[in-house]
Amino acid sequence: MNKIIQGDALEILKSITDNSIDMGVTSPPYNKQENKKGWLVRNVKYDIASDKQSEEDYQEKQVAVLNELWRVIKEGGSFFYNHKTRWEQGKMLHPYEWLNKTKWTLRQEIIWDRMIAANIRGWRFWQTDERIYWLYKPKKDHKIGKELLSKHALLTSIWRFPPERKNLHPAPFPLTLPLRCIYSILDESKGTVIDPYVGSGTTLVAAKLLGHNYIGIDISPEYIKMSQEFLKKTNAYGSILEQELSKHKVSMTFEERKKSGKFVGKFKTASKLDFSTTESILSLF
Ligand SMILES: C[S@@+](CC[C@H](N)C(=O)[O-])C[C@H]1O[C@@H](n2cnc3c(N)ncnc32)[C@H](O)[C@@H]1O
């Protein structure tokens, strides 16, 4: 436990025992073709892995990796897969195309509103969203699974926080992202979290901050070193953890709202509509 393994994600995953891991979070390479997609910014380039394959090979490999993840995650476990919609020669490439070919039950598509992004051209409106797919491995055939606690579920399906800026890895996600995924699923219980494309180690730092065990994989020895350094400094990120935990709070659970008649599913006529917090939105019902 608590290790980072250097190698190809698919090959390393094959050596991990079935049903041994509670959950995972990752952002794979996006197969962005390393083309010039804008005048203003440099493209993402990893130190070893090429992000340029035929789209068919890329999707096939992602399906194989996701199916291995399905095998190693416990029944009732979850995996959060960060990706985005891309276009090649004008054709939209949506992650659903390959997610739908895996063994996972697609539980939700979350929009990550990152507010800013490096790809600036006018072919389409400035794409500042990414997606986070919540993938679920059912217990027996129970595809719906367990309900989230109200304090997590009320965070809504649109997650708004900026991308990471201080990290030296070319494509890190912000610490808030894996913190939110892991805390919402594991809450106060303890488990093991995996990231098969670990990069600078953000998922592992989130797991450690929340008191879980972790396993990371990356093809690049340099990024593994980066992860090890990041893990040594986990204590410096306590304020980001506190900030995220402070969002997972509600004054009433769904059950209590229903009992007290404060959640009847219809908008009240209110003179002032306040959409600034989850609590203020709930008070409109
Ligand atoms: C988008 S980055 C992940 C960034 C990470 N979420 C973070 O916050 O730093 C994708 C990572 O996948 C790694 N990678 C690419 N191909 C791989 C492969 N076949 N097996 C394992 N890792 C690979 C790259 O080296 C890169 O670090």
What HEC string does 47-76 produce?
CCCCCCCCHHHHHHHHHHHHHHHHHHEEEE
Cα angle: 177, vertex 183, 185; to 5 degrees: 105
pLDDT of amino acid 144: 92
Q: Residues 35-44: pLDDT tens digits?
A: 555 555 566 7
Residue 119 has pLDDT above 80, yes or no: no
Cα(263) to ligand 1 centroid in Å equals 43
9 lines ligand 1 (CB under 6 A): yes
Crossing angle of helices 176-186/202-209, nearest 10°?
50
220 lines ligand 1 (CB under 6 A): yes
pLDDT of amino acid 167: 85
pLDDT of amino acid 266: 60
* Mean pLDDT for the chain overall: 91
Residue 136, token pair as written in the block:
């679920």
pLDDT of amino acid 226: 96
Cα(31) to ligand 1 centroid in Å equals 11
Q: What are the C-alpha distances in Å from 100 to residues 67, 94, 249? A: 11, 11, 33
Cα(199) to ligand 1 centroid in Å equals 5
pLDDT band at residue 194 using 50, 70 and 90 as cut-offs: very high
Residue 221 has pLDDT above 70, yes or no: yes
pLDDT of amino acid 270: 65
Cα(218) to ligand 1 centroid in Å equals 6
Cβ neighbours around 272 below 10 Å, total: 6
Q: Residues 238-283: pLDDT tens digits?
A: 999 999 999 999 888 888 888 887 765 566 666 677 888 777 877 7
| Choice between 251 and 30, residue whose per-residue pLDDT is larger | 30
Distance from the Cα of residue 76 to its chain's centroid: 18
Residue whose pair of structure tokens reads 């309900």 in the numeric block: 147
Q: How far apart are CA 242 and CA 235, in angstroms?
A: 12
Walk me through the domains of the chain, giving residue ranges and CATH numbers: 3-249 (3.40.50.150), 252-285 (no CATH)
Mutate which of 6, 46, 80 for ligand 1? The one with the most ligand atoms within 8 Å of its CB, which is 46
